[in-house]
């Protein structure tokens, strides 16, 4: 059996592309090859470590998809809701991965699918509440750092990721290299004291400006606590984050997007997650723990699924409910010397996000796909 996966994002966003890559590897382990339909401008797939039985097929747009599908019954899997044209075909098993929760979004985007695979229990809950056909078990994910290592040192890069669809961003993208030659690009070295880190694209779904509108006054009470930010984002996202960090801005450094995230994780005392609700899973949380770096996150799903409180990190009350008071108590304790948990000792928790566990969760999915195709 061969599956047709569809990921038409023209640029590397993060979790969805990493998930696509390790899904291809896991399916190959079971003996299922992949034809992966990708955007013609998405050159990054060549660096994602795809298995030999994955066939990359560049396509121009949604309208060109049908010519690559064929007439024989096929398992179609979208890494977003399938395009409408593919949902109308009846001789295929039409499925999708829900990489984002439908809570707070339009769940009807998933209408017309035969099955939807949630990446967490939080995502599954939203699908079921919307009366959508959700798979019975979350797929979760894998702490997969393959293909993202580098021997280079960590140096400051641009904090901006320009959106070529916006005229302002296209102009800034042209001007930035001329300005950049006058900027310093220092090598990263830890400061003394407690080091918190963000390793993430600075995108609205993370809600970092809202988070730090509550947490930055708390951080400012501890001037020896450092916040190191590894990632980039659009102009408005970075601007809003800058403003929210105002009270503690002297404790903050931006390092831009980094290739070797494993090296970054090992430089941190704790990874700091964004706000929940709009998050689906948090692959960076899983990766950090696998590298031995504990996580600080809000005590709410999906983080309650990915962080074992007291073992792989600490959970605190949503700062929108208490203006950061619980985070403040946690930070006071950490600065006073509270013992830092070692995620590598939480073997059962980490095993849940191993490649082998992911393969085993896929086996019944593949069996269902084979059963569905026999009926078509």
Structural domain boundaries in the chain = 2-142+354-375, 167-351
pLDDT at 185: 75
* Tokens 């998809």 -> residue: 65
Nearest CA-CA partner of 227 in 208, 205, 204: 208
The three-state secondary structure class of 120 is coil
pLDDT at 260: 87
Distance between CA atoms of residues 6 and 78, nearest Å: 5
Domains 2-142+354-375 and 167-351 share a fold: yes
CA distances to 140, 146, 183, 376 from 123, in Å: 10, 26, 42, 29
Nearest CA-CA partner of 65 in 4, 3, 1: 4
pLDDT at 97: 97
Asked if residue 289 lies in contact with residue 141, where contact means CB atoms within 8 angstroms, the answer is: no
Distance between CA atoms of residues 94 and 107, nearest Å: 16
What is the mean pLDDT, run by run of 10 residues, along the chain of 376 residues? 91 85 96 95 89 93 80 92 84 95 94 97 97 97 73 84 66 59 77 95 94 98 97 93 97 93 94 95 95 98 98 98 98 97 97 97 98 92
pLDDT at 60: 81
Strands 295-298 and 226-230, by their bridges, are unpaired
pLDDT at 181: 55
0.75 cut: is pTM over it? yes
Distance between CA atoms of residues 239 and 15, nearest Å: 23
Which residues is 228 bridged to in the sheet?
Answer: 197, 253
CATH 3.40.50.2000 is the classification of domain 2-142+354-375: yes
Q: Which residues contact 137 (CB under 8 A, 6 or more apart)?
A: 361, 364
CATH 3.40.50.1860 is the classification of domain 167-351: no
Q: Which pair of tokens denotes residue 22?
A: 């390790």
Q: End-to-end CA distance of the chain, in Å? A: 14
Asked if residue 182 lies in contact with residue 215, where contact means CB atoms within 8 angstroms, the answer is: no
């Amino acid at each position: 059996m061969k599956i047709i996966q569809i990921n038409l994002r023209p640029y590397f966003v993060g979790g969805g592309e990493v998930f696509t890559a390790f899904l291809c590897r896991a399916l190959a382990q079971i003996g299922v090859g992949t034809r992966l339909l990708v955007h013609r401008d998405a050159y990054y797939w060549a660096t994602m470590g795809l298995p030999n039985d994955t066939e990359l097929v560049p396509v121009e747009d949604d309208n060109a998809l049908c010519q690559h599908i064929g007439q024989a019954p096929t398992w179609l899997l979208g890494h977003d809701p399938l395009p409408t044209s593919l949902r109308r075909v009846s001789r295929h098993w039409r499925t999708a991965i829900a990489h984002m929760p439908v809570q707070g979004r339009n769940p009807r985007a998933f209408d017309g699918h035969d099955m939807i695979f949630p990446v967490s229990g939080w995502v599954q809950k939203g699908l079921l509440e919307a009366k959508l056909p959700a798979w019975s078990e979350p797929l979760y994910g894998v702490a997969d750092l393959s293909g993202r290592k580098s021997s280079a040192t960590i140096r400051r890069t641009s904090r901006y990721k320009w959106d070529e669809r916006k005229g302002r961003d296209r102009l800034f993208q042209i001007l930035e290299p001329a300005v950049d030659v006058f900027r310093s690009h220092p090598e990263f070295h830890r400061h003394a004291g407690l080091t918190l880190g963000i390793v993430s694209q600075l995108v609205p779904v993370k809600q970092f400006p809202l988070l730090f509108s509550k947490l930055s006054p708390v951080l400012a009470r501890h001037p020896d606590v450092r916040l190191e930010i590894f990632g980039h984002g659009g102009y408005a996202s970075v601007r809003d984050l800058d403003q929210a960090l105002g009270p503690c801005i002297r404790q903050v450094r931006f390092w831009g997007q980094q290739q070797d995230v494993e090296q970054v994780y090992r430089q941190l005392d704790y990874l700091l997650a964004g706000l929940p609700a709009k998050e689906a899973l948090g692959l960076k949380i899983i990766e950090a723990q696998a590298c031995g770096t504990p996580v600080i996150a809000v005590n709410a799903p999906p983080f309650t699924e990915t962080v074992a409180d007291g073992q792989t990190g600490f959970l605190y009350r949503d700062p929108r409910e208490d203006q950061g008071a619980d985070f403040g108590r946690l930070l006071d304790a950490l600065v006073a010397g509270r013992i830092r948990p070692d995620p590598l000792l939480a073997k059962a928790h980490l095993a849940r996000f191993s490649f082998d566990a992911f393969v085993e969760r896929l086996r019944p999915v593949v069996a269902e796909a084979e059963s569905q195709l026999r009926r078509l």
